Amino acid sequence: MGVPHRELYIDGAWVAPASNGRIDVISPATGDVVGSIPRGGAADVNQAVQAATKAFCGPWSKYSGHQRAAYLRKIAEKVKERKNDLAQLESLDNGKPISEAEWDIDDVAGCFEYYADLAEKLDESQDSPVPLPMEEFKTVLRREPLGPVGLISAWNYPMLIATWKVAPALAAGCTVVLKPSEMASLTCLEMAAIADEVQLPPGVLNVVTGLGVEAGAPLSGHPGVAKISFTGSTATGQRIAEAAAKNGVQTCMELGGKSCLIVFNDANIEDAVEWACFGCFWTNGQICSATSRLLVHEDIADAFYARLKQRAETIKIADPLQADTRLGPVISSAQLEKIMGFIKDTKDEGATLLTGGKRPEHLSRGYFVEPTVFINVKPEMRLWREEVFGPVLASATFCTEEEAIAIANGSQYGLAAAVISADAERCKRVAAAMETGIVWINCSQPCFCQAPWGGKKASGYGRELGTYGLDSYLSVKQVTSYVSKERWDWYPVESKL
Ligand code: NDP
């Protein structure tokens, strides 16, 4: 398939970057160069922030929620019309199996529609009264868009993660400068093309592609944005939060994870193995919320591991554009090297390799890794502590519920956790005890745009999605009126307040 040649999208126009530079797009499935994206820099970011500021002060923030919703619905319609080519582009660029890319594109359309609904509801909830203890006063709340915002997204769900930010920001009345990851920017440029097609007013959505240090850093340190919403690694998130704090700019951080799946001895082994594989190997193992630590009750460990080995070895690794592929390549040669480094270190540290651990023999090109499972992994091992961002599962056994909770929580991260057990009360107890922003019971990874998403500890702060996602792009203003006919008598104040 052809990769569209696009420029930066600033102020409603396609413009070449000031440097005139471009970055090669490499297919992770083959290592071939399949296209290029513009290499934006500080000057382009500055121009985009200026355009977003002009558009914010111009029509966009003044529109009603219903007017903004109409644009979001048009964008959703175009995404649906283009589902097949967007999914193919995503799979080509990022390496995820085409079946998963199709889900993502459906979710992109669904997310724009969901925030269109919330934008409309915003009109109805505007100027809502606040009950006060004094009848001489009346307070109403106005919810107002923050301003132009900077959105910096990751490559594992390129269009979807961008949408998690863009849709609520636009619904709230903010204008946007989006900086996608240079590893996978193609569908974010197509989002700009769709915005152009539906005649979104110029400057409302600006897309500046480029390297993190060249385009991301100037955006995160720009004094003209009201907020930076970031999805990416913990290390980069810390740098961005620091740069934004210097300008008093607020941030939302969706960072890395090392989530734990706990399987109790009353679990159905077949079902639990299926969730364990899906929870870690989906999206080629490159999921922030991947349940990449697996705790199995010692009573069922032998049977569980036998089935897990069998199941992992049947996962189809192939060209991601084939309909029945379940595991594609990881994003880049550097990521492949990093993953192989983890595998080597884990072997050296003495964990047992249950299955995988190498590149598949039938695929000579591209950045493929077999689904890999290590058992007898100790908490002090690197694989247990650090995020791999690849199809590598670390497992250990446990004996009691208390022990499982302590091990699961013994991580610097706090994005998600999962528990599988037939005992509903136990599941509730474990869910309450997890130091994470998300807990799954008897499953792993389902994600709906209606439910808030985000983590604790080194996994970040703030929430995306749901009504929380919209609220995060709004500020609340109290408007208080004196409504009594009586003249205000300030003395004695104490008796009135
Ligand atoms: P990075 O942190 O490397 O990059 C994320 C984004 O930040 C990219 O757009 C990147 O640009 C940009 N960037 C890099 N350096 C800077 C900088 N100095 N200033 C501003 N922007 C910068 O993460 P990855 O792209 O490698 O994504 C993987 C990570 O993201 C994993 O740790 C994963 O857990 C996390 N993640 C978290 C999610 C969540 O919801 N919590 C969801 C998905 C991923 P470029 O790529 O062009 O360098």
Residue appearing with tokens 């509801």: 121
**Is residue 491 assigned to a domain?**
no
Compute, in angstroms, the gap from residue 167 CA to the centroid of ligand 1: 20
Q: Which long-range contacts (CB under 8 A, 24 or more apart) does 296-299 make?
A: 296/263, 296/395, 296/396, 296/397, 296/398, 297/263, 297/264, 297/265, 297/267, 297/397, 297/398, 297/399, 297/404, 298/397, 298/398, 298/399, 299/265
Q: What's the domain range around 420?
A: 260-441
**Is residue 2 assigned to a domain?**
no
Question: Is the Cβ–Cβ distance between 45 and 178 less than 8 Å?
Answer: no
Widest distance between CA atoms in the chain? 87
Same domain, 66 and 206: yes
Q: Which residue lies with its CA nearest to atom 15 of ligand 1?
A: 212
SS3 label, residue 441: strand
Same domain, 238 and 320: no
Same domain, 105 and 145: yes
Same domain, 346 and 403: yes
**Is residue 317 assigned to a domain?**
yes
Compute, in angstroms, the gap from residue 354 CA to the centroid of ligand 1: 31
CATH number at 416 reads 3.40.309.10
Same domain, 286 and 396: yes
Q: pLDDT tens for the chain, 497 residues: list them.
A: 789 999 999 999 999 999 999 999 999 999 999 999 999 999 999 999 999 999 999 889 999 999 999 999 999 999 999 999 999 999 999 999 999 999 999 999 999 999 999 999 999 989 999 999 999 999 999 999 999 999 999 999 999 999 999 999 999 999 999 999 999 999 999 999 999 999 999 999 999 999 999 999 999 999 999 999 999 999 999 999 999 999 999 999 999 999 999 999 999 999 999 999 999 999 999 999 999 999 999 999 999 999 999 999 999 999 999 999 999 999 999 999 999 999 999 999 999 999 999 999 999 999 999 999 999 999 999 999 999 999 999 999 999 999 999 999 999 999 999 999 999 999 999 999 999 999 999 999 999 999 999 999 999 999 999 999 999 999 999 999 999 999 988 776 565 55
pTM above 0.85, yes or no: yes
Same domain, 433 and 475: no
Is cis: bond before 492, omega within 30 of 0? yes
Same domain, 183 and 327: no
**Is residue 249 assigned to a domain?**
yes
Same domain, 218 and 293: no
Q: Which residue lies with its CA nearest to atom 27 of ligand 1?
A: 232
Q: Does ligand 1 come within 6 angstroms of the Cβ of 52? A: no
Same domain, 62 and 179: yes
SS3 label, residue 338: helix
**Is residue 270 assigned to a domain?**
yes
Question: For the chain, what is the domain count?
Answer: 2
CATH number at 196 reads 3.40.605.10
Closest CA to 292 of 455, 448, 101, 445: 445
Compute, in angstroms, the gap from residue 78 CA to the centroid of ligand 1: 27
Q: Does ligand 1 come within 6 angstroms of the Cβ of 247? A: no
**Is residue 495 assigned to a domain?**
no
